[in-house]
Structure 1
Amino acid sequence: MLRNELVAHLHQLLEVDQYQDYAPNGLQVEGPEQINKIVMGVTATQALIEAAIDRQADAIIVHHGYFWKNEPQAITGMKFQRIKKLIQNNLNLFAYHLPLDGHAKYGNNAQLGKLWQLEDITPAPGLVRLGRLSNPMSIEEFKHRVSETLAREPLHLPGGPEQIKTVAWCSGGAQGYIQQAVDWQADVYISGEVSEQTTHIASESGIHYLAAGHHATETWGVKALGEYLQNKFGIECQFVDCVNPV
């Protein structure tokens, strides 16, 4: 597949123009025009670049790329070493941040809803989702479901009822959206990270909070996107998990 065709297709598929983001979405570093093999990953780290080189990939597609707002613009240090490696080895780098959180089918949040067997009943558009369990269960049972599916134990800040029915969630570092979950009267809110004040908001607002891992909640969009590209265009796509405990 030609690089420009992939750029155009992903731009339309992921509805990039709908998002005001913190970094550019799309092609960030240009490599070969013809793309036959893609490595998918969460973050464009040196380890992921090395994995793509080892696999003789033509492109990398990630959720966390480069050139974030408010970061130094100079290409030095770690950023220089990463970009140098991409250019030296003729690798394309694509990155999709909020579009790969919010997409209705291939986004992290859509994939997490499927993973946790939630019926999506989100009342308003946005990144935060609201879902309903088919049958109420204890918070301990639901924590076990999250732990099993993400292969990590979430940090639980208690505050909600023992039996839960509604779950709100948003992948990554979205603990700041907990008030939206409270406003929707969710029993549980799940995101990747946690802040000091999250403990108090949960306990005083009557909601459970699960910090399930930034990385762990954001592997699912790139995995789903890779499967889609492989099935639609016959491009070999390999997900490489550079494990991150955060």
Structure 2
Amino acid sequence: MNHLELEALLNSELSPQLIKDYSPNGLQVEGKEDVKTIITGVTASQALIERAIAKKADAIIVHHGYFWKNEPQQLRGMKGRRIRALMKNDINLYGYHLPLDIHPTLGNNAQLAQLLGINAVTGLEDHPQSIAMKGELSEPITGEEFAKRISTALNRAPLHIAPEHSDRLIKTVGFCTGGGQDFIDLAAEHHLDAYVSGEVSERTTYSAREQSIHYFAAGHHATERYGVKALGEWLAQEHGFDVEFIDIDNPV
């Protein structure tokens, strides 16, 4: 498929025009015109690029691409090395940030809900493009049991901050992959039993304790592996691309 046709296909599925983002979504670095082999990954790091070069990939699709709002514009240092490697090897780079977080089936939130057994998922915010979500477990469980479920699903032990009444069972759960920790206050307003995000801040501890809500920090990278992986599988199954997901280890 032509590289611009691939961008149009991805845009049609992910609808980036519907949400205001912190970076451009779509084709960020242009490479060869014909795309057959695709590498997917969470972040367009040098390590991922080198793996794509070794695989002779025509394109890379990531959740965390380049050209973020307020970042330096100069192509030098780490940023320059990454882009030179892409252009020297004629590799297309596609990045989809918030559109990949909120997609109802392929998105990071949707995939996390499936992994953790969260059902009846709806938006936590009161608009169609809600970044944070909420849902229910099939049966109430303890905070320790839910922490074990997260650890098993993501292969990473979460940080669990229990509320003052730590024996509170968990049935309703709010969640947002990546850096969505500040939605915990909205989850508390909805009287949810627990809230899950990727990252955690110092202030999150007090929000959990003082508003009687379990909080789980499950890792930015760990919670955002699965959207881009699902997107690649969709491209392979529905459109015949040769796609491989490569997970570059990141403990954060």
Q: Which of 131, 137, 142 is the matching residue for 1:133?
A: 137
What is residue 222 of structure 1 aligned with on the other side? 228
Q: Provide Cα deviations, 1:147-175, integer angstroms capped at 9, x if missing partner.
A: 00000100011116531100110000111
Q: Which of 242, 245, 251 is the matching residue for 1:245?
A: 251
Q: TM-score, normalised by structure 2?
A: 0.96
Rounded to whole Å, the distance in 2 between the matches of 1:224 and 1:180 is 28
| 1:180 correspondence with 2:186 | yes
One-letter identity of the residue aligned with 2:154: L
What is residue 45 of structure 1 aligned with on the other side? 45
Spell out the pairing of 1:29-68 with structure 2 (5 A cutoff): 29-68=29-68
| 1:145 correspondence with 2:149 | yes
Q: Provide Cα deviations, 1:203-243, integer angstroms capped at 9, x if missing partner.
A: 00010110000000000000100000000111011000001
Rounded to whole Å, the distance in 2 between the matches of 1:120 and 1:24 is 31
One-letter identity of the residue aligned with 2:106: Y
Spell out the pairing of 1:53-132 with structure 2 (5 A cutoff): 53-122=53-122, 124=126, 125=128, 126-132=130-136
Contact 1:161 1:207 in 2 (8 A): no
Rounded to whole Å, the distance in 1 between the matches of 2:177 and 2:167 is 23
Q: Percent identity?
A: 54
3-state SS, counterpart of residue 190 of structure 1: strand
Cα RMSD between the aligned structures?
A: 1.0
Spell out the pairing of 1:205-220 with structure 2 (5 A cutoff): 205-220=211-226
Q: TM-score, normalised by structure 1?
A: 0.98
Spell out the pairing of 1:148-167 with structure 2 (5 A cutoff): 148-159=152-163, 161-167=167-173
Q: Cα 1:92–1:127, aligned 2, differ >3 Å: closer, same or farther?
A: same
What is residue 7 of structure 1 aligned with on the other side? 7
Structure 2 spans left out of the alignment, 5+ residues: none
Contact 2:168 2:193 in 1 (8 A): no
Q: 1:120: Cα distance to partner?
A: 2.7
| Structure 1 stretches of 4+ moved >3 Å | none
Contact 1:137 1:165 in 2 (8 A): yes
Q: 1:244: Cα distance to partner?
A: 0.1
Q: 1:121: Cα distance to partner?
A: 3.8
Say which is worse superposed, 180-189 or 216-225, in terms of deviation.
180-189
